[in-house]
Structure 1
Amino acid sequence: ENAFPWIEADAGIEFDKWGLPKLNESTLQSTQPKVFFGGDAAFGPKNIIWAAAHGHDAAISIHKMLIGENVEDRPAPGMNIVSQKMGIHEWSYDNAPTIDHRFKVPHRPKAEALKDIMAEVELGFDPKLAFEEARRCLNCDIQTVFEGKLCIECDACVDICPMDCITFTDNGEEKELRTRLMAPAMNPTQDLYIGNDLKTGRVMVKDEDVCLHCGLCAERCPTGAWDMRKYYVEMTQAEHACRKQ
């Protein structure tokens, strides 16, 4: 039995063998064009982030249906990157790299937890542990941006990089180029970041697979060729933003 016993069999909504509605995974539209599903009801248990995303997508679909547009014509999200520079060598985020391992969430002693079935097992982080865990953040939304025209190839960024992921070298085929880096980039599924427009004709190569986004290259650079920029994704909302122009 599915989670929707109250839906009449002749309502036009089809269900799969697991009791979940058959949906268009992009539009969240069911086999009854005027009915949309999201969250656990759509694809089974996930998390609240997926549920919120389904709500956004379904809202766009419903809006398009109501104004007579094709619900499968999905508007692309907007993207933007904004410099985090506050001064010559200051940034608006904490960029101190740390090698700490993940901190474990404290648990209630087993004897206490077994004695009271209503007792919370996970006690959560106290302020100190929460702060230390948050410091492990690699600032994945902060992108290193390189401007080759500003670079004087002084190798200051190469010298200070804690991961040896920056190399200035002659260009070449990617497979061979990966072997000539300061630390060979052996993960072919991760694209290399290539910077051109250098005065010597060489290229700057950064292995994104090991970069910590610590910003030390940008802090050390005397010409501002490196910048740290925050990456924003602006998801399209229902109503005017999702309409055809």
Structure 2
Amino acid sequence: WIERDIGIEFGEWDMPVVDKVTFQSTNPKIFFGGDAAWGPENIIWAAAHAHQAAISINKLFNGEDIYDRPEPESNLVSQKMGVHEWSYDNDISQAKRFIVPHADQSISLKDIKVEVELGFDEKQAFEEAQRCLNCDVQTVFVEDLCIECDACEDICPTDCINFIDNSTEEDIRKNLRVPALNLDQDLLVSEKLKQTQRVMIKDEDVCLHCGLCAERCPTGAWDMQTYLYEEAKIY
């Protein structure tokens, strides 16, 4: 459906050759994104491609370098609302993923129009939602506020917080309360703490983001902050 005589080169799968940074085709005035550029992708990626292409088009019209991309916006916002109040649910659930109910095979195999997955009822949906790890909420530790009472270490349900003497990464990983065996996951290591010169080490691999450390901390050294990352857009 794309004209072949307007200066656009085509590559694998007969798709237009598109720059993955600027979304510009080999015809400098034509931009692509989404399925038209790289085949089937979800609508979230397609929308992101459109925003990036819009930035390129705006820069092209203004005679600017389209490779000079604006930085994305990111920030952290505390979720603390009061002394013991937070703007997210920090319930700890040990439940495993709930199985979505299915229609009886004796019915679904007879009629292709029958919906196979029945979905959760209200109770099941609520219980499944309680498994949320609040992945957008980050644990933020401020060394200068820590009095090394170790209350956070004591209350952590997964033993992901440790106060130990600093050492080599290999020794640290072996000596944590729960050994950190996943070498692809960096550890959060604080500066030396004032009272004992120990360091606080947190293993994100086993953190539930439950916020109990922040609730228990008497000095506010721990905080739960929502992380926002947003690509630059042109409106």
Q: Equivalent residues in 2 for 1:1-245 (5 A)?
A: 4=1, 7-199=2-194, 200-238=196-234
Amino acid at match of 1:183: V
Deviation at 1:219, TM superposition (A): 0.9
Give the TM-score taking structure 2 as reference length: 0.93
Instruction: Name the SS for the 2:147 alignment partner.
Output: coil
Partner Cα distance (2:99, 2:114) in 1? 19
SS in 1 for 2:109: helix
1:106: how far off? 2.5
What's the Cα RMSD here?
Answer: 1.5
The C-alpha deviation readout for 1:207-240, integer Å capped at 9, x for no partner, is: 111111111111111111111111111321115x
CA distance in 2, matches of 1:54, 1:112: 42
The residue type equivalent to 1:52 in the other structure is A
**Number of residue pairs aligned between Structure 1 and Structure 2:** 234
**Structure 2 regions of 5+ residues with no counterpart?**
none
Offset, 1:122 = 2.5
Q: Is the 8 A contact 1:30 1:36 kept in 2?
A: yes
TM-score, normalised with respect to structure 1? 0.90
Q: Amino acid of the residue matched to residue 25 of structure 2?
A: S
DSSP 3-state at the match of 1:209: helix
The gaps in structure 1 that reach 5 residues or longer are: 240-245
Shift of 1:197: 4.8
Q: Which amino acid aligns with 1:174?
A: E
Aligned to 1:100, the other structure's residue is in SS state coil
Runs of 4+ residues over 3 Å off in structure 1: none
- Aligned-pair identity (%): 64
Tell me if the contact between 1:20 and 1:42 (Cα under 8 Å) persists in the aligned partners: yes
